[in-house]
């Protein structure tokens, strides 16, 4: 795969300072100028002023100039305008309203971490010791990378063509409700597209080392403000990852995740079309209504129509 990861997401929010404080609590590192970084991915979030919450720009990494030539050609063949700018190709997906920048960037270095040792029936790996999860320091709560972004599109079919046939994402799974899980790396999904009457970010998702770290990080966030909690702890079916969702001050959901499916051989993976519970989660508390219909959806629609 010529594409290999997400680089930086730019979010527009009404109050970047307040949202920035949230993401510092969330575990991202403040880099100055409204930028925030992860442990392995470097700068991966930028916050800018906007009249309402929205996705402004998304960076996607590729290996070399040949990859850029391919993206520019494929977008043009589909009738999407693009601009070549040095080591990048830029275009806009009209469905989601996001500016996409495919850029030459180094592949992500993800050093292996010492994981928690789990005992199982007939498989005792931690002998005469308490679990390491009880005494981990707060560095384990810092997200390792931006894993994926879920965007709402006014024209999901057009957005699907833009990202898959134009930019070069692969389809991992789809649902009968119209949600498409797309990847630009070996991870099960880096982008998901859903149809909606207004453009907005449903959620961003940030990798932690394991499920213990997911639980610890989420509980620390909720201890500071219970209103941040949205949904979790649980495990998704599509992607198989553990999850816990929280809400930032602008209304965007942010997810801690661990143990995502990894697709190393495209030929060995069969994309499915799913419906019902499996299209949403495997286990966990019942999903709140706002996971399907955010509480500020009506306000977002009114704001979009008033511009």
Q: Would you state the pLDDT for residue 181?
A: 98
Backbone phi and psi for residue 221, each to the nearest 5 degrees, phi listed first:
-65, -45
Report yes or no: 104 and 62 within 8 Å, Cβ to Cβ: yes
- What is the C-alpha separation between 176 and 52, in angstroms, rounded? 30
Mean pLDDT, range 202-229, rounded to an integer: 97
Q: Would you state the pLDDT for residue 297?
A: 86
Q: Would you state the pLDDT for residue 305?
A: 52
- Give the contacts of 212 (CB within 8 A, at least 6 positions apart): 116, 133, 136
Supply the Cα-derived Rg of the chain in whole angstroms: 19
Closest CA to 97 of 174, 196, 211, 165: 196
Mean pLDDT, range 102-107, rounded to an integer: 96
Q: Would you say residue 304 has pLDDT above 80?
A: no
Report yes or no: 152 and 195 within 8 Å, Cβ to Cβ: yes
Q: Would you say residue 165 has pLDDT above 70?
A: yes
Q: Which of 108-112, 201-205, 283-287 has the lowest mean pLDDT?
A: 108-112
Mean pLDDT, range 40-54, rounded to an integer: 97
Q: Would you state the pLDDT for residue 307?
A: 53
Distances (CA, A) of 122 to 125, 128, 132, 211: 10, 15, 20, 22
Q: Would you say residue 32 has pLDDT above 60?
A: yes
Distances (CA, A) of 55 to 46, 58, 177: 10, 8, 22
Q: Would you say residue 303 has pLDDT above 80?
A: no
Q: Would you state the pLDDT for residue 298?
A: 85
For residue 2, count other CB atoms closer than 10 A to its CB.
15
- Give the contacts of 39 (CB within 8 A, at least 6 positions apart): 142, 143, 144, 145
Q: Would you state the pLDDT for residue 1?
A: 58
Report yes or no: 214 and 147 within 8 Å, Cβ to Cβ: no
- DSSP, collapsed to helix, strand or coil, labels residue 207 as strand
Q: Please report the domains of the chain, with CATH numbers, ordered by start residue.
A: 3-108+142-306 (3.10.180.10)
Q: Which residue has the tokens 């795969």?
A: 1
Q: What is the Cα 244 distance to its own chain's centre?
A: 13
Q: Could you read off the pLDDT of 126-162 as tens digits, one per residue? A: 999 999 898 888 889 999 999 999 999 999 999 999 9
Q: Would you state the pLDDT for residue 268?
A: 95
Q: Would you state the pLDDT for residue 137?
A: 86
pTM comes to: 0.96
The residue among 14 and 299 whose pLDDT is bigger is 14
Q: Would you say residue 85 has pLDDT above 90?
A: no
In the chain, what percentage of residues exceed pLDDT 90? 88
98-104 and 146-153 beta bridge pairing = unpaired
Average pLDDT, rounded, for the chain: 95
Mean pLDDT, range 167-189, rounded to an integer: 97
């Amino acid at each position: 795969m010529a594409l290999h990861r997400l680089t930086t997401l730019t979010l527009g929010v009404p109050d970047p300072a307040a949202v920035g404080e949230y993401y510092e609590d969330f575990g991202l590192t403040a880099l100055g100028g409204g930028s925030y970084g992860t442990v392995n991915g470097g700068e991966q979030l930028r916050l800018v002023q906007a009249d309402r919450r929205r996705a402004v720009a998304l960076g996607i990494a590729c290996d070399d100039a040949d990859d850029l030539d391919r993206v520019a050609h494929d977008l043009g063949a589909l009738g999407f305008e693009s601009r070549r700018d040095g080591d990048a190709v830029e275009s806009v997906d009209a469905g989601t309203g996001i500016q996409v920048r495919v850029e030459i960037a180094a592949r992500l270095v993800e050093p292996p971490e010492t994981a928690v040792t789990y005992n199982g029936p007939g498989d005792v790996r931690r002998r005469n010791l308490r679990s390491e999860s009880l005494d981990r320091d707060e560095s384990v709560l810092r997200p390792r990378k931006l894993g994926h972004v879920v965007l709402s599109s006014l024209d999901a079919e057009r957005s699907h063509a833009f990202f898959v046939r134009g930019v070069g994402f692969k389809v991992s799974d789809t649902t009968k409700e119209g949600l498409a899980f797309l990847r630009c790396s070996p991870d099960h999904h880096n982008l998901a597209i859903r149809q909606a009457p207004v453009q907005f970010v449903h959620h961003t998702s940030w990798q932690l080392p394991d499920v213990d770290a997911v639980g610890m990080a989420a509980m620390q966030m909720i201890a500071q403000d219970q209103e941040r909690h949205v949904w979790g702890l649980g495990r998704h079916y599509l992607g198989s990852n553990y999850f816990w969702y929280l809400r930032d001050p602008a209304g965007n959901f942010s997810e801690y995740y661990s143990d995502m499916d990894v697709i190393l051989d495209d030929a060995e993976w069969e994309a499915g079309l799913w419906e019902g519970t499996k299209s949403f989660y495997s286990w966990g508390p019942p999903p709140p209504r706002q996971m399907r219909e955010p509480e500020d959806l009506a306000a977002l629609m009114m704001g979009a129509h008033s511009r």
